[in-house]
Structure 1
Amino acid sequence: MTRTAVVTGANQGLGFALAQGLATRLAAEDLVLLTGRDAGRVAAAAERVAADPATRGRVEGRVLDVSDAAAVRQFADDLGPVDIVLSNAIGPLEPGRSQVEQADVFLDVANGGTHAVLRSFGPHLKPGGRLVVVASSLGTLGHLPEALRPRFDGVPLDDVEQAVADWRSAIHDGTAADRGWPEWINVPSKVAQVAAVRAVAAERRDRDLADGTLVAAVCPGLVDTRASRPWFTDFSHAQSPERAAKAVLDLVFADLDPATYGELVRFGRVVPWSSGSPTRHEALIN
Protein backbone atom coordinates (compact mmCIF):
# COMPACT_ATOMS: atom_id res chain seq x y z
CA MET A 1 0.00 0.00 0.00
CA THR A 2 1.40 3.38 -1.03
CA ARG A 3 2.09 5.75 1.83
CA THR A 4 2.25 9.55 1.81
CA ALA A 5 4.23 11.65 4.28
CA VAL A 6 4.34 15.42 4.82
CA VAL A 7 7.04 17.37 6.64
CA THR A 8 6.65 21.09 7.31
CA GLY A 9 9.62 23.43 7.67
CA ALA A 10 11.72 20.88 5.82
CA ASN A 11 14.14 22.80 3.63
CA GLN A 12 16.89 22.87 6.29
CA GLY A 13 17.96 21.66 9.73
CA LEU A 14 15.88 19.07 11.55
CA GLY A 15 13.02 19.28 9.04
CA PHE A 16 15.34 18.42 6.18
CA ALA A 17 16.78 15.50 8.16
CA LEU A 18 13.26 14.25 8.89
CA ALA A 19 12.32 14.35 5.21
CA GLN A 20 15.58 12.65 4.29
CA GLY A 21 15.06 9.99 6.96
CA LEU A 22 11.53 9.29 5.77
CA ALA A 23 12.75 8.92 2.21
CA THR A 24 15.27 6.28 3.29
CA ARG A 25 12.78 4.31 5.40
CA LEU A 26 9.76 4.34 3.11
CA ALA A 27 9.35 2.15 0.04
CA ALA A 28 10.02 3.11 -3.57
CA GLU A 29 6.34 3.70 -4.31
CA ASP A 30 5.83 5.95 -1.28
CA LEU A 31 5.84 9.75 -1.43
CA VAL A 32 7.54 12.29 0.86
CA LEU A 33 6.34 15.87 0.50
CA LEU A 34 9.08 18.22 1.67
CA THR A 35 7.47 21.59 2.37
CA GLY A 36 8.55 25.12 3.20
CA ARG A 37 7.79 28.73 2.40
CA ASP A 38 10.55 29.54 -0.09
CA ALA A 39 10.06 27.86 -3.47
CA GLY A 40 13.75 27.93 -4.41
CA ARG A 41 14.94 26.47 -1.11
CA VAL A 42 12.24 23.83 -1.14
CA ALA A 43 13.13 22.74 -4.68
CA ALA A 44 16.84 22.59 -3.84
CA ALA A 45 16.22 20.59 -0.67
CA ALA A 46 13.97 18.11 -2.47
CA GLU A 47 16.61 17.64 -5.15
CA ARG A 48 19.25 16.95 -2.50
CA VAL A 49 17.11 14.26 -0.88
CA ALA A 50 16.19 12.70 -4.21
CA ALA A 51 19.86 12.54 -5.21
CA ASP A 52 20.93 10.81 -2.00
CA PRO A 53 21.90 7.19 -2.81
CA ALA A 54 20.11 6.04 0.36
CA THR A 55 16.77 7.48 -0.76
CA ARG A 56 14.18 4.88 -1.64
CA GLY A 57 10.86 6.74 -1.65
CA ARG A 58 9.75 9.46 -4.04
CA VAL A 59 10.42 13.02 -2.89
CA GLU A 60 8.63 16.15 -4.03
CA GLY A 61 9.00 19.72 -2.85
CA ARG A 62 5.86 21.73 -2.17
CA VAL A 63 5.49 25.35 -1.10
CA LEU A 64 3.49 25.63 2.11
CA ASP A 65 3.33 28.56 4.52
CA VAL A 66 1.94 27.08 7.73
CA SER A 67 1.17 30.56 9.08
CA ASP A 68 -1.58 30.74 6.43
CA ALA A 69 -4.29 28.52 7.92
CA ALA A 70 -6.42 28.65 4.77
CA ALA A 71 -3.46 27.51 2.66
CA VAL A 72 -2.74 24.62 5.04
CA ARG A 73 -6.37 23.55 4.94
CA GLN A 74 -6.42 23.68 1.13
CA PHE A 75 -3.14 21.76 0.93
CA ALA A 76 -4.49 19.01 3.19
CA ASP A 77 -7.84 18.84 1.40
CA ASP A 78 -6.16 18.61 -2.00
CA LEU A 79 -3.78 15.92 -0.76
CA GLY A 80 -6.46 13.79 0.85
CA PRO A 81 -5.62 10.70 2.92
CA VAL A 82 -2.15 10.90 4.46
CA ASP A 83 -0.10 8.45 6.51
CA ILE A 84 2.53 10.59 8.23
CA VAL A 85 2.49 14.28 9.10
CA LEU A 86 5.44 15.85 10.89
CA SER A 87 4.77 19.43 11.99
CA ASN A 88 8.22 20.91 12.32
CA ALA A 89 8.04 24.52 11.06
CA ILE A 90 9.35 27.12 13.47
CA GLY A 91 9.55 30.89 13.31
CA PRO A 92 12.81 32.81 13.77
CA LEU A 93 13.96 34.07 17.17
CA GLU A 94 17.00 36.27 17.64
CA PRO A 95 18.81 37.21 20.86
CA GLY A 96 18.76 40.89 21.65
CA ARG A 97 15.41 41.59 20.04
CA SER A 98 12.33 42.25 22.17
CA GLN A 99 9.24 40.09 22.39
CA VAL A 100 7.23 42.83 20.71
CA GLU A 101 9.53 42.77 17.69
CA GLN A 102 9.42 38.99 17.27
CA ALA A 103 6.13 37.76 18.68
CA ASP A 104 3.90 37.95 15.62
CA VAL A 105 6.11 36.15 13.13
CA PHE A 106 7.21 33.56 15.66
CA LEU A 107 3.74 32.76 17.00
CA ASP A 108 2.16 32.74 13.55
CA VAL A 109 4.49 29.92 12.55
CA ALA A 110 5.14 28.00 15.76
CA ASN A 111 1.65 28.10 17.21
CA GLY A 112 -0.64 29.18 14.39
CA GLY A 113 1.13 26.66 12.17
CA THR A 114 0.77 23.87 14.73
CA HIS A 115 -2.93 24.60 15.12
CA ALA A 116 -3.46 24.70 11.36
CA VAL A 117 -1.66 21.39 10.82
CA LEU A 118 -3.61 19.67 13.59
CA ARG A 119 -6.96 20.98 12.36
CA SER A 120 -6.31 20.44 8.66
CA PHE A 121 -4.46 17.13 8.49
CA GLY A 122 -6.17 15.41 11.43
CA PRO A 123 -9.35 14.63 9.47
CA HIS A 124 -7.27 13.17 6.61
CA LEU A 125 -5.01 10.97 8.74
CA LYS A 126 -5.36 7.34 7.70
CA PRO A 127 -6.01 4.64 10.30
CA GLY A 128 -2.64 3.65 11.70
CA GLY A 129 -1.18 7.01 10.69
CA ARG A 130 1.14 9.33 12.58
CA LEU A 131 0.56 13.02 13.33
CA VAL A 132 3.54 14.33 15.29
CA VAL A 133 4.37 17.88 16.36
CA VAL A 134 8.03 18.69 17.02
CA ALA A 135 8.07 20.60 20.32
CA SER A 136 10.46 20.78 23.29
CA SER A 137 10.92 19.64 26.86
CA LEU A 138 10.09 23.27 27.72
CA GLY A 139 6.54 22.44 26.64
CA THR A 140 5.41 21.01 29.96
CA LEU A 141 2.90 22.73 32.18
CA GLY A 142 5.26 23.20 35.10
CA HIS A 143 7.36 25.70 33.16
CA LEU A 144 4.53 28.20 33.46
CA PRO A 145 3.63 30.10 36.63
CA GLU A 146 0.83 28.31 38.44
CA ALA A 147 -1.74 31.01 37.70
CA LEU A 148 -1.37 30.48 33.93
CA ARG A 149 -1.54 26.70 33.90
CA PRO A 150 -5.36 26.39 33.74
CA ARG A 151 -5.27 28.23 30.42
CA PHE A 152 -3.61 25.17 28.84
CA ASP A 153 -4.51 22.21 31.03
CA GLY A 154 -7.28 19.90 29.81
CA VAL A 155 -8.86 22.51 27.56
CA PRO A 156 -10.02 22.22 23.92
CA LEU A 157 -7.99 23.56 21.02
CA ASP A 158 -10.16 26.67 20.75
CA ASP A 159 -9.18 27.60 24.30
CA VAL A 160 -5.49 27.00 23.61
CA GLU A 161 -5.74 29.32 20.61
CA GLN A 162 -7.46 31.95 22.74
CA ALA A 163 -4.76 31.72 25.40
CA VAL A 164 -2.08 32.29 22.76
CA ALA A 165 -4.06 35.23 21.36
CA ASP A 166 -4.40 36.77 24.83
CA TRP A 167 -0.68 36.31 25.47
CA ARG A 168 0.16 37.94 22.15
CA SER A 169 -2.07 40.91 23.04
CA ALA A 170 -0.39 41.20 26.43
CA ILE A 171 3.03 41.28 24.74
CA HIS A 172 1.93 44.13 22.51
CA ASP A 173 0.20 46.19 25.20
CA GLY A 174 3.10 45.78 27.60
CA THR A 175 1.26 43.79 30.28
CA ALA A 176 2.77 40.32 29.66
CA ALA A 177 5.21 40.47 32.58
CA ASP A 178 2.56 41.79 34.96
CA ARG A 179 0.30 38.90 33.99
CA GLY A 180 3.03 36.36 34.71
CA TRP A 181 4.00 35.38 31.18
CA PRO A 182 7.62 34.16 31.04
CA GLU A 183 10.24 36.47 29.60
CA TRP A 184 11.47 33.93 27.05
CA ILE A 185 8.85 33.63 24.31
CA ASN A 186 9.78 30.02 23.58
CA VAL A 187 8.39 28.76 26.90
CA PRO A 188 4.68 29.64 26.55
CA SER A 189 4.90 28.82 22.85
CA LYS A 190 6.12 25.28 23.49
CA VAL A 191 3.59 24.73 26.28
CA ALA A 192 0.86 25.84 23.89
CA GLN A 193 2.11 23.46 21.20
CA VAL A 194 1.95 20.48 23.52
CA ALA A 195 -1.41 21.64 24.91
CA ALA A 196 -2.76 21.79 21.35
CA VAL A 197 -1.63 18.23 20.70
CA ARG A 198 -3.22 17.08 23.94
CA ALA A 199 -6.48 18.85 23.08
CA VAL A 200 -6.76 17.19 19.69
CA ALA A 201 -5.68 13.81 21.06
CA ALA A 202 -8.33 13.95 23.78
CA GLU A 203 -11.04 14.17 21.13
CA ARG A 204 -9.66 11.31 19.02
CA ARG A 205 -8.17 8.99 21.60
CA ASP A 206 -10.58 6.05 21.60
CA ARG A 207 -10.84 5.84 17.82
CA ASP A 208 -7.11 6.27 17.28
CA LEU A 209 -6.06 3.72 19.86
CA ALA A 210 -8.43 1.21 18.32
CA ASP A 211 -6.80 1.49 14.89
CA GLY A 212 -3.20 2.10 15.90
CA THR A 213 -3.03 5.81 15.08
CA LEU A 214 -0.63 8.09 16.95
CA VAL A 215 -1.09 11.78 17.69
CA ALA A 216 1.75 13.08 19.83
CA ALA A 217 4.34 15.79 20.45
CA VAL A 218 8.03 14.99 20.39
CA CYS A 219 11.10 16.61 21.92
CA PRO A 220 14.19 15.99 19.77
CA GLY A 221 16.59 17.40 22.38
CA LEU A 222 19.17 20.09 21.65
CA VAL A 223 19.94 20.05 17.93
CA ASP A 224 22.83 21.87 16.31
CA THR A 225 21.05 24.01 13.72
CA ARG A 226 21.24 27.55 12.42
CA ALA A 227 18.19 28.45 14.52
CA SER A 228 19.64 27.16 17.80
CA ARG A 229 23.22 28.40 17.38
CA PRO A 230 22.59 32.00 18.52
CA TRP A 231 20.98 30.86 21.77
CA PHE A 232 23.47 28.43 23.27
CA THR A 233 27.14 28.75 24.14
CA ASP A 234 27.84 25.04 24.76
CA PHE A 235 27.06 22.62 21.93
CA SER A 236 29.14 19.75 23.28
CA HIS A 237 25.98 17.74 23.99
CA ALA A 238 24.02 18.86 20.94
CA GLN A 239 22.92 16.35 18.34
CA SER A 240 23.28 16.60 14.63
CA PRO A 241 19.95 17.03 12.79
CA GLU A 242 20.36 13.50 11.43
CA ARG A 243 20.74 11.95 14.86
CA ALA A 244 17.81 13.94 16.27
CA ALA A 245 15.66 12.94 13.30
CA LYS A 246 16.39 9.27 13.94
CA ALA A 247 14.85 9.42 17.41
CA VAL A 248 11.73 11.13 16.03
CA LEU A 249 11.39 8.64 13.20
CA ASP A 250 11.92 5.69 15.53
CA LEU A 251 8.72 6.84 17.27
CA VAL A 252 6.93 7.29 13.94
CA PHE A 253 7.76 3.80 12.71
CA ALA A 254 7.38 1.95 16.00
CA ASP A 255 4.27 0.02 16.92
CA LEU A 256 1.88 2.24 18.84
CA ASP A 257 2.49 2.36 22.56
CA PRO A 258 -0.77 3.69 24.07
CA ALA A 259 1.26 5.36 26.84
CA THR A 260 2.73 7.78 24.29
CA TYR A 261 -0.60 8.78 22.76
CA GLY A 262 -1.31 12.50 23.17
CA GLU A 263 1.88 12.99 25.18
CA LEU A 264 5.24 14.73 24.78
CA VAL A 265 7.82 12.05 24.00
CA ARG A 266 11.58 12.50 24.37
CA PHE A 267 13.87 9.71 23.14
CA GLY A 268 11.06 7.19 23.41
CA ARG A 269 9.95 8.17 26.91
CA VAL A 270 6.98 10.25 27.96
CA VAL A 271 7.79 13.61 29.54
CA PRO A 272 5.14 14.12 32.24
CA TRP A 273 2.79 16.98 31.39
CA SER A 274 2.97 18.39 34.91
CA SER A 275 6.77 18.37 35.09
CA GLY A 276 9.09 21.36 34.97
CA SER A 277 9.24 24.56 36.97
CA PRO A 278 9.28 28.28 36.13
CA THR A 279 12.84 29.11 35.13
CA ARG A 280 14.59 32.39 34.52
CA HIS A 281 15.46 33.27 30.95
CA GLU A 282 19.17 33.33 31.69
CA ALA A 283 19.13 29.81 33.08
CA LEU A 284 17.45 28.48 29.97
CA ILE A 285 20.06 29.76 27.53
CA ASN A 286 23.26 29.19 29.49
Structure 2
Amino acid sequence: MTIALVTGATQGLGLALAEGLAQRLAPTDTVYLTGRDVEKITTAVRSMPGGGAKVRGELLDVADPGSAAKLAAQIHDRHGGIDVVFGNAVMRVGPDDDPREIIDGYTEVNNFGTTRLLKAFAPLLDDNGRLIVVASSLGTLQHLAPVLHEHFTKPSSLDELDVQVARWRDAVKDGRARSGAWPGFVNIPSKIGQVAAVRVLANERRDSDLARGVLIAAACPGMINTPTSALWWDVSTAPTPAQAATALLDLALGPLKPEHYGELVRHGEVVPFS
Protein backbone atom coordinates (compact mmCIF):
# COMPACT_ATOMS: atom_id res chain seq x y z
CA MET A 1 0.00 0.00 0.00
CA THR A 2 1.39 3.40 -1.05
CA ILE A 3 0.56 6.59 0.85
CA ALA A 4 1.16 9.90 -0.94
CA LEU A 5 0.57 13.55 -0.10
CA VAL A 6 0.56 16.77 -2.12
CA THR A 7 0.49 20.25 -0.60
CA GLY A 8 -1.06 23.17 -2.44
CA ALA A 9 -3.11 20.65 -4.38
CA THR A 10 -6.39 22.44 -5.05
CA GLN A 11 -5.34 23.97 -8.37
CA GLY A 12 -2.63 24.14 -11.02
CA LEU A 13 0.39 21.89 -10.72
CA GLY A 14 -0.58 20.59 -7.28
CA LEU A 15 -3.94 19.39 -8.55
CA ALA A 16 -2.24 17.79 -11.56
CA LEU A 17 0.23 16.00 -9.27
CA ALA A 18 -2.58 14.65 -7.09
CA GLU A 19 -4.51 13.46 -10.14
CA GLY A 20 -1.38 11.93 -11.68
CA LEU A 21 -0.57 10.04 -8.49
CA ALA A 22 -4.15 8.78 -8.25
CA GLN A 23 -4.04 7.54 -11.83
CA ARG A 24 -0.64 5.82 -11.48
CA LEU A 25 -1.31 4.19 -8.12
CA ALA A 26 -3.60 1.30 -7.21
CA PRO A 27 -7.06 1.27 -5.57
CA THR A 28 -5.47 0.08 -2.33
CA ASP A 29 -3.31 3.23 -2.22
CA THR A 30 -4.21 6.66 -0.81
CA VAL A 31 -3.37 10.15 -2.07
CA TYR A 32 -3.81 13.02 0.39
CA LEU A 33 -4.92 16.12 -1.51
CA THR A 34 -4.25 19.04 0.81
CA GLY A 35 -4.84 22.76 0.92
CA ARG A 36 -5.94 25.51 3.29
CA ASP A 37 -9.53 26.02 2.05
CA VAL A 38 -12.11 23.33 2.83
CA GLU A 39 -14.41 24.26 -0.05
CA LYS A 40 -11.57 24.19 -2.58
CA ILE A 41 -10.32 20.88 -1.21
CA THR A 42 -13.79 19.35 -1.52
CA THR A 43 -14.17 20.61 -5.09
CA ALA A 44 -10.72 19.32 -6.04
CA VAL A 45 -11.38 15.85 -4.60
CA ARG A 46 -14.68 15.66 -6.48
CA SER A 47 -12.88 16.56 -9.72
CA MET A 48 -10.66 13.48 -9.54
CA PRO A 49 -11.40 10.84 -12.20
CA GLY A 50 -12.58 7.43 -11.07
CA GLY A 51 -10.30 4.43 -10.70
CA GLY A 52 -6.82 4.35 -9.33
CA ALA A 53 -5.93 5.37 -5.80
CA LYS A 54 -8.33 6.74 -3.22
CA VAL A 55 -8.05 10.54 -2.96
CA ARG A 56 -8.59 11.94 0.51
CA GLY A 57 -8.86 15.67 1.17
CA GLU A 58 -7.17 17.13 4.25
CA LEU A 59 -6.54 20.61 5.59
CA LEU A 60 -2.87 21.61 5.57
CA ASP A 61 -1.84 25.25 5.74
CA VAL A 62 1.96 25.26 5.69
CA ALA A 63 1.93 28.87 6.92
CA ASP A 64 0.41 27.62 10.19
CA PRO A 65 3.36 26.60 12.40
CA GLY A 66 1.59 23.50 13.72
CA SER A 67 -0.37 22.32 10.70
CA ALA A 68 2.24 20.10 9.02
CA ALA A 69 3.25 18.40 12.27
CA LYS A 70 -0.40 17.78 13.15
CA LEU A 71 -1.21 16.10 9.84
CA ALA A 72 2.04 14.13 9.93
CA ALA A 73 1.05 12.74 13.35
CA GLN A 74 -2.37 11.76 12.01
CA ILE A 75 -0.86 9.99 9.00
CA HIS A 76 1.59 8.20 11.27
CA ASP A 77 -1.31 6.97 13.42
CA ARG A 78 -3.30 5.83 10.37
CA HIS A 79 -0.57 4.33 8.22
CA GLY A 80 2.68 4.19 10.19
CA GLY A 81 4.59 6.10 7.51
CA ILE A 82 4.40 7.72 4.09
CA ASP A 83 5.85 6.93 0.67
CA VAL A 84 5.57 10.08 -1.46
CA VAL A 85 5.41 13.74 -0.42
CA PHE A 86 5.22 16.64 -2.86
CA GLY A 87 5.80 20.06 -1.26
CA ASN A 88 4.00 22.28 -3.75
CA ALA A 89 2.30 24.93 -1.59
CA VAL A 90 3.27 28.37 -2.81
CA MET A 91 2.24 31.99 -2.43
CA ARG A 92 2.52 33.77 -5.75
CA VAL A 93 3.80 37.29 -6.24
CA GLY A 94 2.63 39.56 -9.05
CA PRO A 95 4.40 42.41 -10.86
CA ASP A 96 2.28 44.99 -9.03
CA ASP A 97 2.90 43.59 -5.54
CA ASP A 98 5.08 45.64 -3.20
CA PRO A 99 7.64 43.16 -1.79
CA ARG A 100 7.67 45.02 1.54
CA GLU A 101 3.95 44.39 1.96
CA ILE A 102 3.80 40.73 0.96
CA ILE A 103 7.14 39.39 2.21
CA ASP A 104 5.84 38.16 5.57
CA GLY A 105 3.16 35.94 4.07
CA TYR A 106 5.40 35.00 1.19
CA THR A 107 8.20 33.61 3.35
CA GLU A 108 5.76 31.96 5.77
CA VAL A 109 4.37 29.84 2.94
CA ASN A 110 7.28 29.37 0.56
CA ASN A 111 10.23 29.14 2.93
CA PHE A 112 9.20 28.47 6.51
CA GLY A 113 6.38 26.34 5.13
CA THR A 114 8.96 24.27 3.27
CA THR A 115 11.12 23.72 6.34
CA ARG A 116 8.04 22.82 8.41
CA LEU A 117 7.05 20.24 5.81
CA LEU A 118 10.55 18.76 5.71
CA LYS A 119 10.75 18.53 9.50
CA ALA A 120 7.30 16.96 9.79
CA PHE A 121 7.38 14.41 6.98
CA ALA A 122 11.01 13.39 6.44
CA PRO A 123 10.96 11.27 9.63
CA LEU A 124 7.87 9.44 8.32
CA LEU A 125 9.39 8.34 5.00
CA ASP A 126 9.19 4.60 4.49
CA ASP A 127 11.89 2.62 2.69
CA ASN A 128 12.05 3.76 -0.96
CA GLY A 129 10.17 6.91 0.00
CA ARG A 130 10.25 10.19 -1.93
CA LEU A 131 10.11 13.75 -0.57
CA ILE A 132 10.17 16.32 -3.37
CA VAL A 133 9.98 20.09 -2.98
CA VAL A 134 8.69 21.84 -6.08
CA ALA A 135 11.11 24.71 -6.72
CA SER A 136 12.59 26.42 -9.77
CA SER A 137 15.78 26.81 -11.76
CA LEU A 138 15.82 30.31 -10.25
CA GLY A 139 16.78 28.53 -7.03
CA THR A 140 20.48 28.40 -7.88
CA LEU A 141 23.32 30.61 -6.72
CA GLN A 142 24.10 31.89 -10.22
CA HIS A 143 21.11 34.22 -9.82
CA LEU A 144 22.50 35.73 -6.62
CA ALA A 145 25.42 38.08 -5.97
CA PRO A 146 28.42 36.09 -4.65
CA VAL A 147 28.55 38.19 -1.50
CA LEU A 148 25.18 36.69 -0.52
CA HIS A 149 25.94 33.04 -1.20
CA GLU A 150 26.97 32.16 2.36
CA HIS A 151 23.44 32.95 3.56
CA PHE A 152 22.42 29.71 1.84
CA THR A 153 25.61 27.64 1.89
CA LYS A 154 26.78 28.15 5.47
CA PRO A 155 23.74 26.87 7.46
CA SER A 156 24.08 23.28 8.62
CA SER A 157 20.53 22.87 9.94
CA LEU A 158 17.05 23.89 8.89
CA ASP A 159 16.80 26.14 11.94
CA GLU A 160 19.97 27.98 10.92
CA LEU A 161 18.65 28.39 7.39
CA ASP A 162 15.38 29.80 8.74
CA VAL A 163 17.41 32.43 10.59
CA GLN A 164 19.08 33.50 7.35
CA VAL A 165 15.76 33.65 5.49
CA ALA A 166 14.30 35.74 8.32
CA ARG A 167 17.18 38.20 8.02
CA TRP A 168 16.53 38.56 4.30
CA ARG A 169 12.79 38.96 4.96
CA ASP A 170 13.47 41.72 7.47
CA ALA A 171 15.82 43.47 5.03
CA VAL A 172 13.04 43.47 2.42
CA LYS A 173 10.51 44.81 4.94
CA ASP A 174 12.62 47.73 6.13
CA GLY A 175 14.03 48.60 2.71
CA ARG A 176 17.66 47.58 3.31
CA ALA A 177 17.43 44.93 0.59
CA ARG A 178 16.73 47.61 -2.02
CA SER A 179 20.00 49.40 -1.33
CA GLY A 180 22.06 46.23 -1.04
CA ALA A 181 22.98 43.29 -3.23
CA TRP A 182 19.68 41.43 -2.90
CA PRO A 183 17.71 41.07 -6.17
CA GLY A 184 14.47 43.00 -6.42
CA PHE A 185 12.57 39.89 -7.55
CA VAL A 186 11.85 38.16 -4.22
CA ASN A 187 11.17 34.87 -5.97
CA ILE A 188 14.93 34.39 -6.48
CA PRO A 189 16.11 34.34 -2.84
CA SER A 190 12.97 32.44 -1.87
CA LYS A 191 13.57 29.66 -4.38
CA ILE A 192 17.25 29.50 -3.46
CA GLY A 193 16.14 29.12 0.14
CA GLN A 194 13.87 26.21 -0.77
CA VAL A 195 16.64 24.39 -2.62
CA ALA A 196 19.06 25.15 0.22
CA ALA A 197 16.57 23.60 2.67
CA VAL A 198 16.54 20.39 0.67
CA ARG A 199 20.34 20.37 0.57
CA VAL A 200 20.67 20.95 4.32
CA LEU A 201 18.28 18.13 5.16
CA ALA A 202 19.92 15.84 2.61
CA ASN A 203 23.34 16.44 4.17
CA GLU A 204 21.96 15.25 7.50
CA ARG A 205 20.33 12.09 6.11
CA ARG A 206 22.22 11.14 2.97
CA ASP A 207 23.89 7.87 4.02
CA SER A 208 20.91 6.38 5.84
CA ASP A 209 18.43 7.49 3.17
CA LEU A 210 20.40 6.09 0.25
CA ALA A 211 20.84 2.82 2.11
CA ARG A 212 17.02 2.66 2.38
CA GLY A 213 16.34 3.75 -1.20
CA VAL A 214 14.94 7.12 -0.08
CA LEU A 215 15.09 10.24 -2.26
CA ILE A 216 14.94 13.80 -0.96
CA ALA A 217 15.19 16.36 -3.75
CA ALA A 218 13.96 19.63 -5.18
CA ALA A 219 12.35 19.64 -8.61
CA CYS A 220 11.91 22.27 -11.27
CA PRO A 221 8.83 21.69 -13.44
CA GLY A 222 9.86 24.41 -15.91
CA MET A 223 7.60 27.13 -17.23
CA ILE A 224 3.91 26.29 -16.91
CA ASN A 225 0.92 27.84 -18.63
CA THR A 226 -0.97 29.26 -15.64
CA PRO A 227 -2.70 32.63 -15.06
CA THR A 228 -0.08 33.62 -12.47
CA SER A 229 2.87 32.87 -14.75
CA ALA A 230 1.13 34.82 -17.51
CA LEU A 231 1.42 37.96 -15.37
CA TRP A 232 5.21 37.80 -15.84
CA TRP A 233 5.91 35.96 -19.08
CA ASP A 234 4.38 34.81 -22.35
CA VAL A 235 3.34 31.27 -21.46
CA SER A 236 1.04 30.67 -24.40
CA THR A 237 3.24 27.82 -25.67
CA ALA A 238 4.27 26.50 -22.24
CA PRO A 239 3.12 23.07 -21.00
CA THR A 240 -0.12 22.72 -19.10
CA PRO A 241 0.06 21.76 -15.41
CA ALA A 242 -0.79 18.17 -16.34
CA GLN A 243 2.02 18.06 -18.87
CA ALA A 244 4.50 19.65 -16.45
CA ALA A 245 3.56 17.15 -13.76
CA THR A 246 4.77 14.17 -15.80
CA ALA A 247 8.49 14.60 -15.11
CA LEU A 248 7.86 15.17 -11.40
CA LEU A 249 5.71 12.05 -11.17
CA ASP A 250 8.42 10.08 -12.96
CA LEU A 251 10.93 11.34 -10.39
CA ALA A 252 8.67 10.34 -7.50
CA LEU A 253 7.57 6.94 -8.78
CA GLY A 254 10.55 5.86 -10.86
CA PRO A 255 13.74 4.11 -9.74
CA LEU A 256 16.10 5.98 -7.45
CA LYS A 257 19.08 7.69 -9.07
CA PRO A 258 21.59 8.46 -6.30
CA GLU A 259 22.91 11.48 -8.21
CA HIS A 260 19.50 13.15 -7.73
CA TYR A 261 19.70 12.94 -3.94
CA GLY A 262 19.71 16.39 -2.32
CA GLU A 263 19.80 18.16 -5.68
CA LEU A 264 17.54 20.31 -7.85
CA VAL A 265 16.29 18.13 -10.70
CA ARG A 266 14.75 19.33 -13.95
CA HIS A 267 13.41 16.80 -16.47
CA GLY A 268 15.62 14.09 -14.98
CA GLU A 269 18.82 16.15 -15.00
CA VAL A 270 20.59 17.80 -12.07
CA VAL A 271 20.66 21.61 -12.11
CA PRO A 272 23.89 22.60 -10.27
CA PHE A 273 23.29 24.71 -7.18
CA SER A 274 26.47 26.72 -7.68
Query: What is the TM-score normalised by the length of structure 2?
Result: 0.96
- 1:70-105 Cα offsets, whole Å, 9 max, x none, are 111111111111110000000131211211111111
Give 1:177 deviation, angstroms: 2.2
Which residue matches 1:8?
7
Distance 1:268 1:225 in 2: 22
Amino acid at match of 2:128: G
Which residue matches 1:280?
none
The 10-residue stretch of structure 1 (235-244 or 13-22) with the greater mean CA deviation from structure 2: 235-244
Question: 2:176 aligns to what SS in structure 1?
Answer: coil
Which residue matches 2:24?
25
Question: 1:69 aligns to what SS in structure 2?
Answer: coil
Which residue matches 1:205?
206
Give 1:154 deviation, angstroms: 4.9
- Where in structure 2 are the equivalents of 1:136-215 lying within 5 Å? 136-156=136-156, 157-215=158-216
Residue 60 in 1 paired to residue 56 in 2?
A: yes
Which residue matches 2:71?
75
Give 1:197 deviation, angstroms: 0.3
- The percent identity for this pair of structures is 47
Question: 1:218 aligns to what SS in structure 2?
Answer: strand
Which residue matches 2:273?
273
Residue 34 in 1 paired to residue 33 in 2?
A: yes
5+ long unaligned stretches in structure 1: 275-286
- 1:154-211 Cα offsets, whole Å, 9 max, x none, are 5222221111100111111110123311100000000000000000001000011111
Distance 1:109 1:194 in 2: 15
- 1:229-257 Cα offsets, whole Å, 9 max, x none, are 2111x224411000110110011111110
Distance 2:60 2:45 in 1: 14
Distance 1:188 1:97 in 2: 16
Residue 135 in 1 paired to residue 97 in 2?
A: no
- 1:125-181 Cα offsets, whole Å, 9 max, x none, are 111100000000000112111011011115222221111100111111110123311
Which residue matches 2:252?
252
| Contact residue 128 and residue 212 of structure 1 kept, 8 A | yes
- Where in structure 2 are the equivalents of 1:61-140 lying within 5 Å? 61-80=57-76, 81-140=81-140
Which residue matches 2:243?
243
Which residue matches 2:227?
226
The 10-residue stretch of structure 1 (150-159 or 249-258) with the greater mean CA deviation from structure 2: 150-159
Distance 1:200 1:138 in 2: 20
| Contact residue 15 and residue 88 of structure 1 kept, 8 A | yes
The 10-residue stretch of structure 1 (207-216 or 235-244) with the greater mean CA deviation from structure 2: 235-244
- Number of matched pairs: 269
Query: What is the TM-score normalised by the length of structure 1?
Result: 0.92
Which residue matches 1:47?
46
Question: 2:255 aligns to what SS in structure 1?
Answer: coil
| Contact residue 92 and residue 105 of structure 1 kept, 8 A | no
Distance 2:203 2:132 in 1: 15
Moved over 3 A (4+): none
Measured on the aligned residues, the alpha-carbon RMSD in Å equals 1.0
